[in-house]
Amino acid sequence: MSDNLSLFELNNEKIENTRILELRKKIIEADTAYYVDAQPLMTDREYDLLMQELIDIEKNNPELITPDSPTQRVGGAPLKEFRQVQHDRPMLSLANTYSREEVEEFDKRIREALGDTQYKYTQELKYDGVAVSLHYENSVLKLALTRGDGITGDDITQNVKTIQSLPIKANDLDINGIPLRNFEVRGEVFMMESDFLRINEQRAEAGEKLFANPRNTTAGTLKLLDSKEVAKRPLSIVIYYIDTQDVKLSNHSDNLEIIKKLGLPISEQTRQAASIDEIFNFINKWEENRHTLPFQIDGIVIKLDSITHQNILGFVARSPRWAIAYKYQAEKAVTQLNGITFQVGRTGVVTPVAELEPIFLAGSTISRATLHNEDYIKERDIRINDFVVIEKGGEVIPKVSAVVLEKRPDDAVLFSFPELCPCGIKHPLVKPEGEANYFCEHPECPWQIRRRIEHFASRNAMYIDGLGEKVVDQLVNLEYIKSVADLYDLHNHRDKLLALERWGEKSVDNLLAAIEQSKKQTLSRFIFAIGIRFIGEGAAKILARTFKNIEALSKATIDDLKSVHEIGEKMAETIVYFFSVPKELEIINRLISYHLNTELTEEETGRDGVLTGQTFVLTGELSSMTRNEAKQKIESFGGKVTGSVSKMTNYVIAGSDAGSKLKKAQQLEVKVLNEEEFIELIEKL
Ligand code: IVH
């Protein structure tokens, strides 16, 4: 600060400095409450306002920016390459085993090495993600490294800072009066299955190559050179190791408590074990229940608890002798590929689907699996009649992962992608440059029209009850409806509907009433329902709040759209394109003429946060929606969905086959809703 600053300037700077500290404190508290404790303190809007104020003050006073400011989660220009940094201590991996005998041998080796000493194990889930090492100096996250070759890793600090549940500043913690401020922690970055599915859905729509599983997505994301792109893909982290010179560490289970007190996320599912039987209780429990977790695990890690004991055992090659990973078998099965059919999505994307000899795998019978696109089939040389490997990981859609070449029958048929759309019009398919998918671009392709109408009527869009797949098929086949606008003209054709097979007065009137009712839906549902590529429920909500009516949205330029937080270039382009297509405009104008609501109402703005502060846990299988859909629904009203039940949980939604989480909810007297009650709750909102 220069000496000749006026008193006014000095005061001003002081005020801003105080405000900065206040804002940072509030934001960090809100982050912890939201991401770690699952107890939001404020609405998204309130949070955004605080963050914007902080960004503005820091912009005007760059000298006041510190590395632990929440604004620094996404910062800096894209990198050209990652800096290589040597690990303080090598990052080791674990010896793997798939059998009880090998776990017994592992325990025997430990018993022999420790002689008569009593010892115990800590068991943890083996998260299927990417290992990272994080260095905190003076409690601030200074460096994050990948494992690399174990000796040297990539500096991915900017990318790791985008992980919202990871504090950039750890809590001040004293152990026996000694401050713990400088330490290294190691853990696993991973992606929740629901986030993975959402990202792949977006990629499928954009015609981009799909990620194989959440682990690959995490690895791909951490390797991006632009942290702004990383920030768009929600990553999670769990910490399972700490090392420090500041204080003495004595055993792993205490270390986990220390990590927790530092404010860093640890796994909630750990258990101590003192015998092989106890170890296998835990292994078997999670083998059975792994699909109830919202993320993927590939096994269980068994660690000797005492650090003194760990040091006695030491290392062999590149693995510790004091820990072992028991890995679960990947869930795979082999079956015959009877044929390949095609699906046409609402954007015209044509997806090949494997028609399989039905087979039971990981809890359900599978008769169809995605083949993604032409390249996917070619790369694996998949032929009709081949015996193929089917894989299913967690809730992820089953896929054909490989061919069993030894079993290839003589009548295996090479596959070639059709040149024409499988619909009645048989329009030639096109494969845009740089895209992996074929598209049908005919505006009247009945398959696309069907999918678009189904989407328009779906529960999360205009919610026209009774207008499901079968009814849409029937009405489109008879050419009673050719676009979503025709729905609102159906009441003029009540007689025709009554004449249809299996339709009576009651069902016709119910359908017409539901269509009439849908005219009152909110603007954000309307924007989502009209089916603009890349515009999901979340983006539709933001667009509704920003533009306030459909006319303003239809006139927005690419720049107007891009200036909206969370609307990227691709979305902006597709929105502008959508409103430039005469056929789409005609449909929108007709919808307006039928008096559909296309304005943001006060009621809509007020409803957004009705579930703010409420935490939900989903367990078991829901029949009317996927868990991901249920999660999005809750989040769209400001609620939060977490993976495990605690006293802080407000509701547990229990579908069929709900297991341990339901039990825990009953123990803790948390309110449990069945699927019907849940739908009732959501629909009342
Ligand atoms: S401990 C020296 N604990 O599995 C031991 N690893 O195959 C360091 N992993 O490199 C690892 N969950 O990437 C440990 N609870 C857990 C883990 C875990 C996942 C990963 C980690 C490690 C690999 C070993």
| C-alpha span between 589 and 598 (Å, rounded) | 11
Model confidence pLDDT, tens digit, residues 118-164: 999 999 999 999 999 999 999 999 999 999 888 999 999 999 999 99
Name the residue at shortest CA distance from atom 21 of ligand 1. Answer: 131
Q: Name the amino acid, one letter, at 107.
A: D
Question: Which of 124, 126, 238 is the pocket-test mutation for ligand 1 (most atoms within 8 Å of CB)?
Answer: 126
Residues of the chain with CATH 3.40.50.10190: 604-684
- Centroid of ligand 1 to alpha carbon of 130 (angstroms): 9
The correct CATH number of 331-407 out of 3.40.50.150, 3.90.870.10, 3.30.390.10, 2.40.50.140 is 2.40.50.140
Tell me, using a 6 A CB cutoff, whether residue 239 lines ligand 1: no
β pairing state of 323-327 and 319-320: unpaired
The answer to whether the CB of 406 falls within 8 A of the CB of 413 is no
Kindly report the number of other CB atoms within 10 A of residue 382's CB atom: 22
* Residue 532: closest CA among 512, 553, 547: 553
Residues of the chain with CATH 1.10.287.610: 2-72
Q: Which residues contact 70 (CB under 8 A, 6 or more apart)?
A: 24, 27, 28, 31, 51, 54, 168
pLDDT digits (tens, 9 = 90+) for 18-71: 899 999 999 988 887 777 666 778 877 788 889 889 989 988 888 888 878 888
28/517 Cα distance (integer angstroms):
43
Decide: 23 and 17 in contact? Cβ < 8 Å.
no
The topology (CATH level 3) of 446-518 is: DNA polymerase; domain 1 (1.10.150)
Two structure tokens written together for 588 = 């929108």
3-state helix, strand, coil in the chain (%, to 5): 40, 20, 40
What is the CA(679)–ligand 1 centre distance, in A? 40
pLDDT value of residue 394: 46
Q: Among 252, 301, 315, 326, which residue has the most ligand 1 atoms within 8 Å of its CB, making it the best to mutate? A: 301
For 2-72, give the CATH class.
Answer: mainly alpha
Q: Which residue has the tokens 């046409």?
A: 344
- The tokens for 674 are 């069945």
236-243: strand order across its sheet: 140-146, 130-137, 183-190, 236-243
346, 531 contact by CB (below 8 A): yes
- pLDDT for 124: 97
* Distances, alpha carbon 294 to alpha carbons 22, 96, 389, in Å: 35, 24, 25
Question: Do 543 and 532 meet the contact criterion of CB atoms below 8 Å apart?
Answer: no
Give yes or no for residue 645 CB within 6 A of ligand 1: no
Q: Which atom of ligand 1 is nearest to the CA of 241?
A: 1
218 neighbors 189 (Cβ within 8 angstroms): yes
C-alpha–C-alpha distance, residues 168 and 71, integer Å: 11
| Other CB atoms within 10 A of residue 497 CB | 20
Pocket test for ligand 1, best of 91, 92, 93, 94 (most atoms within 8 A of CB): 94
Q: Ligand 1 mean position to 260 CA, how many Å?
A: 18
Is residue 648 within 8 Å of residue 37, measured between CB atoms?
yes
Rounded Cα distance, 483 and 530, in Å: 10
pTM here is 0.59
- Any ligand 1 atom below 6 A from CB of 390: no
Beta carbons of 441 and 432 less than 8 angstroms apart? no
Domain 523-600: CATH superfamily is 5' to 3' exonuclease, C-terminal subdomain (1.10.150.20)
Q: What is the distance in A from the centroid of ligand 1 to the CA of 117?
A: 26
Q: For residue 209, what pLDDT is reported?
A: 66
The closest-lying atom of ligand 1 relative to the alpha carbon of residue 96 is 7
User: What pLDDT was estimated at residue 2?
Assistant: 42
Evaluate: CB of 301 within 6 angstroms of ligand 1.
yes
Q: Where in the chain is the domain with CATH 3.30.470.30?
A: 96-327
Query: Which atom of ligand 1 is nearest to 124's Cα?
Result: 15
260 is catalytic: no
Give the span between the Cα atoms of 96 and 633, in whole angstroms. 40
Catalytic residue (one of 126, 161, 169, 541): 126
What does the buried/exposed string (b/e) look like for 548-575 if buried means 16 or more CB atoms within 10 Å of the residue's CB?
bebeebbebeeebbeebeebeeebbebb
Whether 94 is in the pocket of ligand 1, judged by its Cβ within 6 Å, is yes
- CA dihedral of residues 225, 230, 235, 237 (deg, nearest 10): 40
Of 400, 347, 401, 376, whose CA–CA distance to 210 is shortest?
376
Count CB atoms within 10 A of the CB of residue 90: 14
User: Mean pLDDT across the chain, nearest whole number?
Assistant: 88
Angle at CA of residue 460, ends 459 and 463, nearest 5°: 40
Residues of the chain with pLDDT under 50: 1-5, 7, 394-395
**Domain 96-327 CATH assignment equals 3.30.470.30:** yes
List CB contacts of 647: < 8 A, sequence separation 6 or more. 668, 670
- CATH superfamily to which 604-684 belongs: BRCT domain (3.40.50.10190)
